[in-house]
Amino acid sequence: MILEARDVGFRYPSGAPVLDGVSFGVTPGRSVALVGESAAGKTTLLRLLLGLRRPTSGAVLFQGAPLPTGHRAAREFRRHVQTVFQDPYSSLDPRQKVSRIVAEPLRAVGFTDHEPRVSAALDAVGLPVDAADRYPHEFSGGQRQRIAIARAIAVEPTVLLADEPVSALDVTTKVRIIDLLAELRATRGLTLVLVSHDLAAVASLCDETVVLERGRVVEQGPTGAVLGSPRDAYTRKLIASIPRLP
Ligand SMILES: Nc1ncnc2c1ncn2[C@@H]1O[C@H](COP(=O)(O)OP(=O)(O)O)[C@@H](O)[C@H]1O
Ligand SMILES: [Mg+2]
């Protein structure tokens, strides 16, 4: 396993338990989907996998060891694990040029040769190199999500955690971004953890699927089996609530 949640429980300081006994992992180069209704705890689980929050019980492991706490080790972790958020409008600072936005993880991790890496990342997501000199508002939603993906892959991470990366996009754009993620998986061997409501995206991108219901894993396994012949009543309900699958 490259990234693993082991019997993870979590509650925010202010509230009730959000995650309870969650265990799942992803092996290098593979992809896992996290699905479940709104408020199931998917985003919280990603925050724990990113080390932004610590589990209340259980552990999150990266390459078999608990997530690092020291500054240097945390930098090394960031070098390997990057993220893309849902909303390409709020996730990009409107006052900064794209070059600076995409270079942000490079700075955080300690790279000094930003320019060639920013160009390579923009090229990899299908944006023209001159996008670097422009501002986020000059781009469409799909292009902004490409900028966010360029930012995530600029450090050439091993693992990408994506939280509903296509749910704010229209159907055509959605398909293009899913294709891009599939291409990045294939060409870079990226390990992917994808949170998505879009079961078509899940079916096309993810080897395995984990179903969360109110903070608990109710079903997990190969995506074909989970979506094709779900054993759990909640999973069946979730699939039935999606208008249609490909
Ligand atoms: N920062 C927070 N403080 C307190 N409660 C939170 C916070 N973020 C999320 N929650 C609560 O945790 C639960 C799970 O939320 P979330 O992880 O965002 O679910 P999902 O991504 O599956 O919709 C919800 O009940 C939500 O209200
Ligand atoms: Mg969420």
Reported as a single tens digit per residue, the pLDDT across 186-202 is 999 999 999 998 898 99
- In 3D space, the residue among 26, 25, 89 whose CA is nearest the CA of residue 58 turns out to be 25
Q: At residue 152, does pLDDT exceed 60?
A: yes
Q: How many residues does the chain have?
A: 246
Whether residue 220 is predicted with pLDDT greater than 90 in this model: the reply is yes
Predicted confidence band of residue 73 (pLDDT cuts 50, 70, 90): confident
- Taking the alpha carbons of 59, 64, 69, 75 in that order, is the dihedral positive or negative? negative
User: Model-level pTM?
Assistant: 0.94
Ligand showing the shortest atom-to-Cα distance for residue 18: 1
Average pLDDT over residues 200-211: 95
Question: For residue 76, what are the CA distances in angstroms to 24, 83, 108, 114, 165?
Answer: 23, 15, 10, 17, 24
The pLDDT, as a whole number, for residue 244 is 59
Longest CA pairwise span in the chain (Å)? 52
Distance CA 79, CA 223 (A): 28
211 lines ligand 1 (CB under 6 A): no
Distance 74 CA to ligand 2 centre (A): 24
Distance CA 11, CA 152 (A): 28
85 CA to centre of ligand 1 in angstroms: 15
Q: For a substitution probing ligand 1, which of 10, 43, 196, 216 has the most ligand atoms within 8 Å of its CB?
A: 43
Q: In whole angstroms, what is the distance from residue 76 CA to residue 73 CA?
A: 5
pLDDT score recorded for residue 243: 62
∠ CA 141-143-148, rounded to 5°: 95
Average pLDDT over residues 111-136: 96
Domains of the chain: 3-240 (3.40.50.300)
